[in-house]
Structure 1
Amino acid sequence: MPSSQVVQIAAPIPVNAIAPSLPEAYRSVRVPGGVGNFWRKLAAFAGPGYLVAVGYMDPGNWATGIAGGSAFGYTLLSVVLLSSLMAMLLQSLSAKLGIVAGLDLAQACRVHYSAPTRVALWILCEIAIAACDLAEVIGTAIALQLLFGIPLVTGVCLTAFDVLLILMLHQRGFRQLEAFVVALMVIITGCFAVELFLSRPDLAAVAKGFVPTAEIASNPAMLYLAIGILGATVMPHNLYLHSALVQTRRFERTPGGMREALRFATFDSTIALVFALFINAAILILAASAFHVNGRVDVADIHQAYDLLTPMLGGAIASVLFAAALLASGQNSTVTATLAGQIVMEGFIDVKIAPWARRLVTRLLAIVPAVVVAWLYGESGTTKLLIFSQVILSLQLPFAVVPLVKFTNDARLMGEFANRGWVKFAAWSVSALIIGLNLKLVFGLVTG
């Protein structure tokens, strides 16, 4: 059914010119019908949440997590938890928009906003995707250097060839792409499970770290890292991505069918984001237990962390697992940026280009600054650039979150599925918190 007919279930909004999101995969995954098929339906809906979740554990998380754990111990675990809870809420709203309105977030902006506004939002979103891709380029290059001794600049250039990997996965079908992502997530989770076993963190201190403290807002260095963690966890382009991915499922276009689709899509994304929470918390806990408690509060570099893990944890396998998980993380997140780039370009400005060309342009925009910084400043420069990329992502968040909340609150667009009660309050509260933290960060940077 065309997306225009889908939207008219909720409200007669003129979107006849809007083509389906990801047309090559639109409604391509069959959902079992009837009652009593809970597990089969859950399996059919499983996938989009994991594609989204990989963006929440990309190499940018490593830089902010290592720096935060080394400098401040377990204190910033509360930020990781809060960010993950915010992500679960926002991704559920993103799924709701795609399932009920039949539009991804970029398309909704194109329908409801003026041309100057949607072009501005598109540019900001492209900046966020470039920042995300920059983190993936640097993270993958660092992993290649740690595992195989490939020079940093060479490793950055080699990341251009992952375009071929993504194209191959696309050609094999959407479910194959999802299976690849899940497999890499299992590898990352296994690596960190072993790392945590070797580091033997103080469980009481870990539990205390999940309780927020006022110091996070009052300490400028801690706040900078906290906002970096927020930017690395709640990814703006993932909100566009999820609203398109849920439309790959062929569920019934009735109020009951959409309600069921919402339930299973929320299960999918929440379970996947719990895995992401484990990974992000594990990175920070590892840095706190291996470095901070041993007096190494200066470890803000992935290379430093790799070099110190073996002597501090007493096993060479610790460093190897660390680098292997980093490589898997970088490759996994590449899928997210590729799909998100296609969705926002087609959704905002209705420009369609070949996926390989779109991917290559995005990757080159990330490679150029990474090569320059790696050449001039080496390892320390790339780590600083990695953390800075996550702050850029955080600064872009309000421009995705506010439209998402606005659209899912709109009864004309969402009908009976519009946000109400605590969901509406929580959504605007999250928006206000994100905007407030970003304003505080900008004010701090401007005033020094």
Structure 2
Amino acid sequence: MDTGSGDIFSGWRQGRLDPSLADVHRSIKVSQSGSTWRRALAFFGPGYLVAVGYMDPGNWATSLAGGSKFGYTLLVVALVSNIMAIILQSLCARLAIASGRDLAQACRDAFPRPVAFVLWLLAEIAIIATDIAEVIGTAIGLNLIFGIPLELGVIITAIDVFLILYLQKLGFRWVEALVITLLGVIAVCFGVQIALADPNWGDVIRGFAPTTEIVTNPEMLYLALGILGATVMPHNLYLHSGIVQTRAYGETLKEKKEALTFATIDSTVALMFALLINASILILAAATFHASGNTQVAELGEAHTLLSPLLGLAIAPTLFGIALLACGINSTVTATLAGQIVMEGFLNIRLPPWLRRLITRAIAIIPAAAVTIWYGEKGTAELLILTQVVLSLQLSFAVFPLVMFTADKRKMGALVAPPWLIVVAGIVAVLIAALNLKLLFDFAGALF
């Protein structure tokens, strides 16, 4: 058995596979002669593309609803979700570096064709749900800042494909630079708003302590699962396992171990930043809306309108709109890449990125436009939260294969996940599945 030379491990049925994202595969050089910091810097980037999915517009709706209705109580859900995300994303990097496969390719290799097809279909549903959230969020951002009608804004979001296509032609580092720059804009916007809101920091700290009410209260559980679905997102698992391989980290065991270390540090730091943003959204909602008795705020437009009188500064809603638009643009980049990885990995179908993006975005625009036209902002808010719950329900179908693959020494060689990590990841996978089952039972009970 090979443990790092680059040959195919005996646990995989197929030989070497054509890489996903072939135009940027191993395109970023990793110097083997420079300092440790310089080598680590080469891996700086993919984690922040992953982090984008943890603060997309759908997450805003669930966090605003949770913060306005239950105050700081659901902060613990954001924290636990983030810890789960760190564990699972580290496994994605491990799978990619050890096997040279992304998660979609690994599923296609390991499972019978009908099973792999079902997993592909579920992954596509998750990406479409993500895209719907981005379409609506970006359209609302355009409306809040420029006054563009929501119906027109939904259509305008389709042209983002050309921005992504242009950046990919310049090089993958340009894609990462755009994402990181927009993340900086989001952080500044929320930093100012939190300072203006002046939350009760004692209550904030207590909000990170667990409570059984989250599980026993169906309404709270629904929002908690929405936050979970917006934080640990299925498409991010496919995305991370693909974009890690944009680094030319070498084929020896030593080089792969170092690559795994740096990639894990990159994703962990980036996800801690994502937690900061997620917590800020919920804290802002709790400190402004819940504290003033506005406990039913879930619409992004309504939140924008209420911020100015509550915070006493006219620029506050503008900052909210700018941050929302930045989130929407960022999310379109990562969903494009994830969609390409899923389609190429599962089906071995190669489509130009612009065509792949247009197909996915067209599918997302239809329900988003219909809801926007017929129901207005209230309908879009409900659809945003629903998309996040759909993502949560899809999550187990990506998590269990990931844990299975990284625990298999025949597939992973010397980089097989240590027993303690597999136990923790297994607990995370079972916990996610159990919460989703309880949600389904609660829905069934309400219906009958």
TM-score computed with the length of structure 2 as normaliser:
0.97
Equivalence for 2:268? 270
Equivalence for 1:173? 171
- The 8 Å contact of residues 21 and 247 in structure 1, kept in 2 or not, is answered as no
Equivalence for 1:21? 20
- Out of 65, 70, 73, the position equivalent to 1:72 is 70
Equivalence for 1:6? 6
Q: Any residues of structure 2 matched to 1:128-277 within 5 Å, and which?
A: 128-277=126-275
1:416–1:199 Cα change, 3 Å: same
1:66-118 Cα offsets, whole Å, 9 max, x none, are: 00000000000000000001000000000000001100000001111000000
Moved more, 437-446 or 126-135: 437-446
Does residue 436 (structure 1) correspond to residue 434 (structure 2)? The answer is yes
Q: Shift of the alpha carbon at 1:293?
A: 1.1
- Out of 319, 322, 333, the position equivalent to 2:320 is 322
- The 8 Å contact of residues 27 and 247 in structure 1, kept in 2 or not, is answered as yes
**Aligned pair count?**
443
1:358-397 Cα offsets, whole Å, 9 max, x none, are: 1001001110001111111001000000000000000000
Q: Any residues of structure 2 matched to 1:384-399 within 5 Å, and which?
A: 384-399=382-397
1:130 counterpart letter in structure 2:
I
Q: Shift of the alpha carbon at 1:6?
A: 3.0
Equivalence for 1:369? 367
Q: Shift of the alpha carbon at 1:354?
A: 1.4
- CA distance in 2 between partners of 1:262 and 1:421 (Å): 17
Q: Shift of the alpha carbon at 1:16?
A: 2.6
Q: Name the SS for the 1:11 alignment partner.
A: coil
Moved more, 242-251 or 13-22: 13-22
1:169 counterpart letter in structure 2:
L
1:201-257 Cα offsets, whole Å, 9 max, x none, are: 111000000011000000111000000000000010110111111111111211111
- CA distance in 1 between partners of 2:342 and 2:145 (Å): 35
- The 8 Å contact of residues 92 and 266 in structure 1, kept in 2 or not, is answered as yes
- CA distance in 2 between partners of 1:140 and 1:417 (Å): 40
Moved more, 36-45 or 46-55: 36-45
Q: Shift of the alpha carbon at 1:313?
A: 0.3
TM-score computed with the length of structure 1 as normaliser:
0.97
1:274-309 Cα offsets, whole Å, 9 max, x none, are: 111001000000000001111111112111110110
- CA distance in 2 between partners of 1:7 and 1:362 (Å): 35
Is there any run of 5+ residues in structure 2 with no aligned partner, and where? none
Q: Shift of the alpha carbon at 1:421?
A: 2.6
- The 8 Å contact of residues 20 and 340 in structure 2, kept in 1 or not, is answered as no
- CA distance in 1 between partners of 2:6 and 2:76 (Å): 40
Q: Name the SS for the 1:353 alignment partner.
A: coil
Q: Shift of the alpha carbon at 1:12?
A: 5.8
- The 8 Å contact of residues 30 and 251 in structure 1, kept in 2 or not, is answered as yes
Q: Shift of the alpha carbon at 1:32?
A: 1.3
- CA distance in 2 between partners of 1:13 and 1:422 (Å): 24
- Out of 411, 422, 425, the position equivalent to 1:424 is 422
- The 8 Å contact of residues 7 and 13 in structure 1, kept in 2 or not, is answered as no
Q: Shift of the alpha carbon at 1:7?
A: 5.2
Q: Name the SS for the 1:6 alignment partner.
A: coil
Q: Name the SS for the 2:54 alignment partner.
A: helix
- The 8 Å contact of residues 408 and 414 in structure 1, kept in 2 or not, is answered as yes
Is there any run of 5+ residues in structure 1 with no aligned partner, and where? none
- The 8 Å contact of residues 80 and 233 in structure 1, kept in 2 or not, is answered as yes
1:161-200 Cα offsets, whole Å, 9 max, x none, are: 1111111111111011111110000000111111110000
1:117 counterpart letter in structure 2:
V
Q: Name the SS for the 1:291 alignment partner.
A: helix
Equivalence for 2:59? 61
1:42–1:208 Cα change, 3 Å: same
Identity of counterpart residues, as a percentage?
57
- CA distance in 2 between partners of 1:375 and 1:127 (Å): 23
Q: Shift of the alpha carbon at 1:17?
A: 5.8
- Out of 311, 314, 336, the position equivalent to 1:313 is 311
Q: Shift of the alpha carbon at 1:312?
A: 0.3
Q: Name the SS for the 1:57 alignment partner.
A: coil
